[in-house]
Amino acid sequence: MDKVPSVSEVIFNIKRLLEGEFRTVSVEGEISNLSHSSSGHWYLTLSDSDSSLSAAVFKMDALRNPLMKSLKNGDKVICSGSIGVYNKRGTFQLIVKRISPVGKGDLKEQFEMLKRKLAAEGLFDPQIKKEIPTLPNRIAVITAKGAAALQDFLNIIDRRTQWYDILLSPALVQGDAAPASLRKALFNVIKYSMDAPEDKKIDVIVFTRGGGSMEDLWAFNDEGLAWDIFNCPIPIISAVGHQVDTTICDMVSDLRCETPSAAAEVLSNAQAEIKETLDWSGRHLARSMTHILGRSSERLQMGHPKRVLDVIWRRVNEQQKKLGRIDLINRANDYLGIYNYNQRLDDSIYRLKTGIEKKYSRLEERNRSAYDLLRVLDPTNVLGRGYSIVKDDNDKVVPSMKVFEKLKSGQKISLMFHDGVGIARAGESS
């Protein structure tokens, strides 16, 4: 016959099955029986129309969840966590790690609720923020050991400054344990500074980490951490995430920087300016000393015999060069005179040639006009139009009728036509 298990064995097996199967679970329901114990734990019942489930929010998880203080019976919420079995009573309950309202159940709503709450309590008041020291000697950095944000911060500090003392207070920057780790790291820095001698005290604290989602940065939205920052006697810079990320830590800190590198630049600006001024002064002093030494050396060399002789020879050479230039100028003037004479001669020849050509042109024009006139007056041209010329036997032209009447009857006459000469005799005139 098989052995009958004991109550403890049954409960153990149930615990193993339930806690193994429901390591991560989210449950939606309405809150009832909400209570807050003196130990800091919260207890409640999640219900729907058919069933109820007991739930517990332990102290540390409650402190990390800003919604807890505003919860009341009747609220509809989403609780996320795991199933836990209580051996003594053989009961199970939901161990809540995170809680959010139904319909607004995202981290953004929790963030806005906590922001309004802390703003009303005066944690963001700019009038009470502490001044960031211009020339801090010791800087405490709270971030994860080996984080890229830490390396970015140190690279800027090392490049721009020379005498900063950096103290790292390592902490978790993500996950459920991160808020408590950040608060402990801040507490350690404050305690260290209070116990340290005056020249070793911390001048400023920097919270930093790289960017990420809202869930990744949620540890910096912890209400307990916000109050620790607010009450810290040392100025605090928050350089969490990137430019688009904003956390409660940013708002309550004395100064918010968009990135770790920006925080390093803010803290190193004064030293960088001093370093630049000293570098410029050093360069200016070196140039001045070089100039003074050069002038002194030159004056010493001026009195040396060789130097005097060199000066004399240089002046003699300068005078020789001047004489050479004068001779060159005289030669140039002579050349210019000859050149000007040749130029005038060329101008005269050109004017003479031009005058002759113009006169020749006018004579040629007159000859053409006379030729044309002769052609017009040429008798042969008249004969071509049907006229003839009458000549007597002495080859004299008979120019008119009066002369023709004086010819003897039968006297020989010649008639000149354009294409030949005819012979005739004069008859009786009528």
Which whole-number Å values give the CA distances from 80 to 57, 110, 247, in the listed order?
Answer: 10, 14, 22
Q: In this predicted structure, what is the pLDDT of residue 428?
A: 60
Instruction: Please return the burial class of 44, using the count of CB atoms within 10 Å of its CB with bins 0-12, 13-18 and 19+.
Output: buried
Q: Is residue 173 within 8 Å of 141, Cβ to Cβ?
A: no
User: Taking the CB of residue 260, how many other CB atoms lie within 10 A of it?
Assistant: 30
User: Taking the CB of residue 404, how many other CB atoms lie within 10 A of it?
Assistant: 14
Q: Note the CATH number of domain 7-105.
A: 2.40.50.140
If pLDDT is split at 50, 70 and 90, which confidence band does 172 have? very high
Q: In this predicted structure, what is the pLDDT of residue 6?
A: 80
Residue 141 neighbours by CB under 8 Å, 6+ apart: 150, 153, 166, 167, 168, 169, 205, 206, 208
User: Taking the CB of residue 220, how many other CB atoms lie within 10 A of it?
Assistant: 26
Q: Summarize pLDDT for 398-410 with one digit per residue, the tens.
A: 777 777 777 777 7
Fold of 117-125+136-272: Rossmann fold (3.40.50)
- Identical topology for domains 7-105 and 117-125+136-272: no
pLDDT tops 80 at residue 67: no
pLDDT tops 60 at residue 274: no
CA dist., res. 332 & res. 326, Å (int): 10
Q: What is the DSSP letter of 238?
A: E
Q: Summarize pLDDT for 327-342 with one digit per residue, the tens.
A: 666 666 666 666 666 6
The full set of domain ranges for the chain reads 7-105, 117-125+136-272, 350-377, 388-425
Residue 30, both tokens:
């309405």
pLDDT tops 90 at residue 169: yes
Residue 290, both tokens:
């070089």
pTM for this model (two decimals): 0.46
Residue 124 neighbours by CB under 8 Å, 6+ apart: 118, 251, 252
CA dist., res. 187 & res. 179, Å (int): 12
Name the 3-class secondary structure at 253: coil
